[in-house]
Structure 1
């Protein structure tokens, strides 16, 4: 059978057709990616994808979203789209539908991932545990967080969270300065304000101020580009600071979830940062948890390298919710 899969984030909307074969094996067709700012809403982007597929789509939909479902309406945290579930069913002929948080979808993908799609970052070089909790998080336009629990018998359950919106906890004086800087704009500073793609601008500006330098008016994309290329020492320091804070946050998430079975880092930004994370202060910050430092050192941390874990995970969630429709 085929499923229309969509992964809607703050910046991009990704679509693909997923084919579910005997035994539940999922394969994705060609992925179409649309900028959310170039479409008025989900229906517009879906219509563009329908055109790519020759004018028709399957009547089954698996939808991963960076937002929450309330009263039959999906509202997004980092774009201005909204989706009426009734309109989806009525106007698009959807017979079966699964709606899931985008990082819950990624957690489903992690549960099915083989070693080829998991790159070691830090901690012991061992597979994720087959029993226990695995934390899943990743920075992008925002910060997604979820976790999954394995029962040791081949089964798993996924829990979506809004862990990206917990309070930011500074660790040193530079973190203190970042918090003070962000408080000028936000009454409450969540970790998403510090470890998401756009946050690199604020980190860069704080480091510039501390070194009495002109921060210039660089956009986030340019800071990332310069920092990862090593062509701008201030941008490079901002990327290093970002990785350090991400390590702190990842460790806090593992502590909160009891994620002793492993921590999976995901998202497009994580993929671009993979080598940088391995050589940065990420690992030291991840384990620096006082009386729990020794425990943190036992947790394997891996990067999800599957190119589209949100789409494949949405299809996996669909099969769990609608087993009668899947081979």
Structure 2
């Protein structure tokens, strides 16, 4: 394992989520270019999406690729949780004519980006100072709920975790959340954090609040709910987004105490960075600190919203420096 930045041959790097795929070329973490964002629904397979991207650039001489994808990677066969792509890593490598193709969980890749992020790409949401040499946690809602961490090693390197913490059990903290748990349990059986803290989770919360109020829920996309909540133009949207952020605060503080992440908790994904000033004033931080006897411990931990447009691509490039010989 290496932690130094160095130039290498031209690589394809990618961040594949349940809604969008981001592609770029790089020769180091300081040289990421030709970024393109595509809708995954526009392509029947990951192979065709990559081929389309490279063809649009005139098929540059790429022989290696690193892909972060919103899915656990348990072997050669990958079947996405939140989108109907499935593929063999080795068969895709051969079809693309690559010498090497690494496919890694997207939040493992995002975790590797954390030490590379510029201070002006981070927005602090309360807390004290980061404690050097302690773990960093990262989570973020989008199509699903991604979770990972960086653990410091004795040699000063960072070790990323391949985790699936979005699927831990959701435990309600108040009467509203108890109602949401009961509704989700009736509909889905197992109620994970991801069921509520994700784009579809925000929609679920909104619909159940409307039903409780005896009004007809509108067919709003997650972005519609957020926009109306921030504009205070829909009381049910605002209540839904407040509940969403409070539950995310619980998830973030659970991650912090589980890891001992006094180096900080980082929030990414496709939803929170778009909430602007609302998020800082939302119930998130109060809920993050609300840990009974450990409230002071949590209050000291800094939380940062990742404001970089393509942090997972930065993490994919950093993967090449961390594992140069794979």
TM-score class normalised by the smaller sequence = over 0.9
C-alpha contact 1:18 1:312 (8 A) present in aligned 2? no
Tell me the alpha carbon deviations over residues 105-138 of structure 1, each in whole angstroms, 9 at most, x when there is no partner.
11100022231222101212x3x33301111100
Tell me the alpha carbon deviations over residues 187-243 of structure 1, each in whole angstroms, 9 at most, x when there is no partner.
100000001012111111222233333323333332222222222121112111111
Structure 2 residue aligned with 1:50: 54
Q: Is 1:187 aligned to 2:195, yes or no?
A: no
Q: State the alpha-carbon separation in 2 of the partners of residues 150 and 71 from structure 1.
A: 26
Query: What are the equivalent positions in structure 2 for 1:117-196 lying under 5 Å apart?
Result: 117-124=121-128, 126=129, 128-151=130-153, 154-196=156-198
What TM-score, normalized to structure 1? 0.92
Q: Is 1:64 aligned to 2:72, yes or no?
A: no
2:282 aligned to which of 280, 283, 290:
280
Q: State the alpha-carbon separation in 1 of the partners of residues 310 and 156 from structure 2.
A: 23
C-alpha contact 1:265 1:304 (8 A) present in aligned 2? yes
Structure 2 residue aligned with 1:269: 271
87-96 or 146-155: which moved more? 146-155
Query: What are the equivalent positions in structure 2 for 1:1-327 lying under 5 Å apart?
Result: 1-20=9-28, 25-124=29-128, 126=129, 128-151=130-153, 154-323=156-325
Please give the root-mean-square deviation of Cα atoms over the aligned residues, in Å.
1.7
What TM-score, normalized to structure 2? 0.92
| Structure 2 residues not aligned, in runs of 5+ | 1-8
2:135 is paired with a residue whose SS is: strand
Q: Deviation at 1:104?
A: 0.7
Q: State the alpha-carbon separation in 2 of the partners of residues 139 and 120 from structure 1.
A: 18
- Aligned pair count? 318
